[in-house]
Structure 1
Amino acid sequence: MSPAGAGATLETLPNGLRLLLAPATTAGTTAVAVHAGVGFRGEPADSSGLAHLFEHLMFAGSAGVEPGGHFAAVEAVGGAVGGHTRHDYTELFEVVPAHAVDEVVRLEVDRLAGPRLDPATLATQVEVIRAEIAQQVDGVPYGGFPWRHLPPAMFDTSPHVRDGYGDVAALRRVGVDDAAAFFDHWWAPGNLVVTVEGDLDHLDVGRTRELLSALPARAVPPATPLAEPALAADRHLEVAAANVPAPVWAAGFRLPDPALSPRLHGACTALAGLLPAQEPALRVSARSGWYGVPLDARDPDVLVLSTHPRPGVDGAPLLAAMRDLLAAWAPGAATPALLGTARTRLALGEYARGERLAHRARRLGAATLLLGSTDVLASADPTTCLDRDLLGEAAAYLLDQHAGTVLVTPGPAGSPATTPGGDS
């Protein structure tokens, strides 16, 4: 075993699966999280949404569990389940009373051995995804903003411009053999991290190792190449969306690679937490990472600034205003008074994130999968990266790059993006 953050231990089993045990004081609860090293940036180019489909399939039955049985078993003991598909990973998780943790481990092993794959199951889950897109994205005001609209302004290659939910028409063409090949390739034990966090007094660690080690070893796929040159000029796009009641605008800046510069990444995250309060009249929202969760993707990841523009204000003046916000933190500038309350502001934000279901287990597992260690969580903690010189370095890093921006306006669904004037 090796250290994996405060009180946690990381062990690689004979089949390559990494088991992370993270004891913590809880109200008698335990979280189990599974992270697989495939997200929508790893999908085949002609099968957009396949990673998301497997998030659903992992709850749709397996060799020893009927469809819906995973939910039923966890909820029967008063627990809760969840799952997400991100850029570079898929996560599944449960929170249960500590006495039920061994049963949850057994359930996880059952589906990690192979989900139920047959034409009817595939068709049902594709329909569930179609409904999910209709209800949770297209049917919600501003649904999908900015992660659905901004990537084409920042990137050109296929992995970066997918929206994660997927193309329903493409998913309907996925057959059982295609799905089985995807699972065998990406859900190999050596591409998995299983985290058990919280009250571990009831966990049979030896039996957990035995069950997880019994999963047959398979070749571990290489990570999807994600390198892409930085923008050579600012790029401004406009796109119409039927679910946008009023214009909304966003700008994206690349974050530093946390594997190489964790504290610089943490300082950029700190700025994301401070900029909205710097000029309240601008009504700026900021997020470190596409979904507002830092360290949630491999490099490249983004810092996003967004706002609702005044009528007649286009992308260039808005981007200039965002750069003015950053310039207040640049080296040589007077220290913004906001720095005096920065630690409290950021700590409150971290507390709010920490209230999410299975948050610590999910963060530990994702960091282990994406970055090979949980140490980066402490190194890149924005509350510890408030040194004035480091914040200046972060501001300079963001200012010293070209940005992508997108203006989304009300209009018919599916209206194509335009590039007024091209790159500028």
Structure 2
Amino acid sequence: MIRSTLARRLCLSALFAFTLVGAGPAPAAVFNPETFTLDNGLQVVVVPNHRAPVVTHMVWYRVGAADEPLGNSGIAHFLEHLMFKGTETMPPGAFSSEVARLGGNENAFTAQDYTAYFQTVAAEHLETMMRFEADRMANLALTDEHVLPERQVILEERRQRVENDPGAQLSEMMRASLFLHHPYGTPIIGWEHEMRGLTTADALAFYEKWYTPNNAIVVISGDVTAEEVRPMAERTYGQVPRRAVPERKRVEEPAQTAPRRVVLESAQVQQPSWSRLYLAPSYNRDPENAAYALEVLAEILGDGPPGRLYRGLVVEDKVATSAGAYYSADAFDLGTFGFYGSPLPGAEIEPVEAAIDAAIDRLLKEGVTEAEVEAAKGRLQAGAVKARDSLFGPARTFGAALTTGSTIEDVESWPERIGAVTVEQVNEAARAVLTPETSVTGLLLPKPTS
């Protein structure tokens, strides 16, 4: 299964940069999707792409790890696994076997705010995929016989992905320190001691609470039209009754008054690295309308040769092998703005931290320039030219947006909104977000030999 921590360096601005069409001050039209809603509340979004007789079919649920009950961390991700364990009419593994028999591929992923399931198949098999997903939307059948062994699978996944990876351990501790009260500080995969206690009853309760058509979005990208999809959707998903869905109530993050620092030393670490996270607005929580300015700022600072940090630390000063910044805006609640850097082989980490701190200080004092803003906006928009060649990209873009509070119109107008960002907005956003009190700094270091 694909796990969507979304690897922190793959923020929504980067996703859009590679999946949106439109350069310069183009009109607000990116994917030109078609959409409709069934009587049971299920929204369907269709992105026609007739380059090949293939479709990507995705089902998105507006529920993720941040919606879990206290003490049940990991249940959203666990249920993602269990959705492949069969229904009242389809035995475990039959769905996946049929997808493979038809020459398709499938997967699923869990994030803090959503859970998604997808298949890519020949267009002629789309209704079969819709029928299978509608079946497990309504008729999941779980018993201890299948649930308890799968619990061992997710525990082993945690061991492999977190406990055997010092970088993942540091990231987990940094997020737990960044979010003092909000559930975004709990790892998507869960805390091990709570994962061990997850039960069949827990999984079924979570499923019955959140998995219903009026809490889901189906996105289909490929060789179809909404006119063709609607009758298929009515024959499949339209037969699933709606249920009441609770409000997504999240605790608010309290005011933060001191920066935090996390240091992890491990014998597994060969190359030190440095990172920092700041709390930031997301698209859905953006009272100052700063999200688009922060995307431009992240592009200016960058994580490659055009970026200030790479150019300054790697090319000019030669104190780092990598350096950059990124912004993660695809959240129902708070987003994050991050920095990272790694020293030259055999060198200490302190010069990298000092150089990035100096770059941040300069940014806050002097700001960015008109030339930097225009170049960054151009790169963001130009990087989107090949979007329509992708099936998965548009489907994922719309699913992530619609499950975290954005609209189709927000996605379609992205190039215009980026194009409208000004120097003043970028500088204001930087000064509002890059405050030490709302930050966590992480150091990943080799363990000293005695």
Shift of 1:144: 5.4
Is the counterpart of residue 248 in structure 1 residue 248 in structure 2?
no
Is the counterpart of residue 232 in structure 1 residue 269 in structure 2?
no
Bigger mean CA offset, 234-243 vs 263-272: 234-243
Aligned mates of 2:123, 2:168 — CA distance in 1: 36
Bigger mean CA offset, 82-91 vs 366-375: 366-375
1:177-216 correspondence runs (5 A): 177-200=201-224, 203-216=228-241
Q: 2:181 aligns with which of 138, 141, 157?
A: 157
Shift of 1:210: 3.3
Is the counterpart of residue 279 in structure 1 residue 315 in structure 2?
no
Aligned mates of 2:323, 2:293 — CA distance in 1: 18
Instruction: Give the match's secondary structure for 1:14.
Output: coil
1:264-413 correspondence runs (5 A): 264-276=290-302, 277-280=307-310, 281=313, 282=320, 283-289=322-328, 294-295=329-330, 297-308=331-342, 311=348, 313=350, 317=354, 320-324=357-361, 326-327=363-364, 330=367, 334-335=369-370, 338-339=372-373, 341-343=375-377, 345-347=379-381, 358-381=392-415, 384=419, 386-399=421-434, 402=437, 403-410=439-446
CA shift in 2, pair 1:262/1:16, >3 Å: farther
1:15 — aligned with what? 40
Q: Deviations over 1:5-58 (max 9, x none)?
A: 743233332322222222233322111111111111111221111000011111
Shift of 1:393: 2.9
Aligned mates of 2:105, 2:244 — CA distance in 1: 32
Query: Which amino acid is 1:172 matched to?
Result: R
Shift of 1:141: 6.2
Aligned mates of 2:166, 2:378 — CA distance in 1: 32
Aligned mates of 1:133, 1:205 — CA distance in 2: 40
Q: 2:88 aligns with which of 63, 87, 92?
A: 63
Q: Deviations over 1:104-127 (max 9, x none)?
A: 101111111132311121122222
Is the counterpart of residue 26 in structure 1 residue 51 in structure 2?
yes
Instruction: Give the match's secondary structure for 2:224.
Output: coil
Aligned mates of 1:354, 1:241 — CA distance in 2: 44
CA shift in 2, pair 1:150/1:124, >3 Å: same
Instruction: Give the match's secondary structure for 2:119.
Output: strand
Q: Deviations over 1:312-356 (max 9, x none)?
A: 6299746623523633772xx544x54464245435765799988
Q: 2:76 aligns with which of 51, 66, 71?
A: 51
- Structure 2's unaligned 5+ residue stretches are 1-27, 314-319
Aligned mates of 1:198, 1:232 — CA distance in 2: 49
Aligned mates of 1:326, 1:209 — CA distance in 2: 54
Q: Is the 8 A contact 1:266 1:379 kept in 2?
A: no
Query: Which amino acid is 2:200 matched to?
Result: V
Aligned mates of 1:157, 1:108 — CA distance in 2: 35
Alignment RMSD (CA, Å): 3.2
CA shift in 2, pair 1:226/1:21, >3 Å: farther
Shift of 1:88: 0.8
Q: Is the 8 A contact 2:296 2:373 kept in 1?
A: no
Aligned mates of 1:261, 1:379 — CA distance in 2: 19
Aligned mates of 1:124, 1:350 — CA distance in 2: 43
Q: Is the 8 A contact 1:227 1:300 kept in 2?
A: no
Q: Deviations over 1:114-146 (max 9, x none)?
A: 323111211222222123223334445634553
Shift of 1:272: 1.6
- The number of residues matched between the two structures is 401
CA shift in 2, pair 1:250/1:322, >3 Å: farther
Aligned mates of 1:284, 1:119 — CA distance in 2: 48
**Structure 1: which 4+ aligned runs deviate by more than 6 Å?**
351-357
Aligned mates of 1:355, 1:167 — CA distance in 2: 39
- Structure 1's unaligned 5+ residue stretches are 413-424
**Looking at both structures, which has the greater relative contact order when contacts are Cα pairs under 8 Å and sequence separation is at least 6?**
2
Shift of 1:223: 0.7
Shift of 1:256: 2.2
Shift of 1:243: 4.7
Shift of 1:102: 0.8
Query: Which amino acid is 2:364 matched to?
Result: A
Q: Is the 8 A contact 1:23 1:200 kept in 2?
A: yes
Instruction: Give the match's secondary structure for 1:165.
Output: coil
Q: Percent identity?
A: 27
Aligned mates of 2:99, 2:60 — CA distance in 1: 19
1:171 — aligned with what? 195
Aligned mates of 1:158, 1:388 — CA distance in 2: 32
TM-score, normalization by structure 1: 0.83
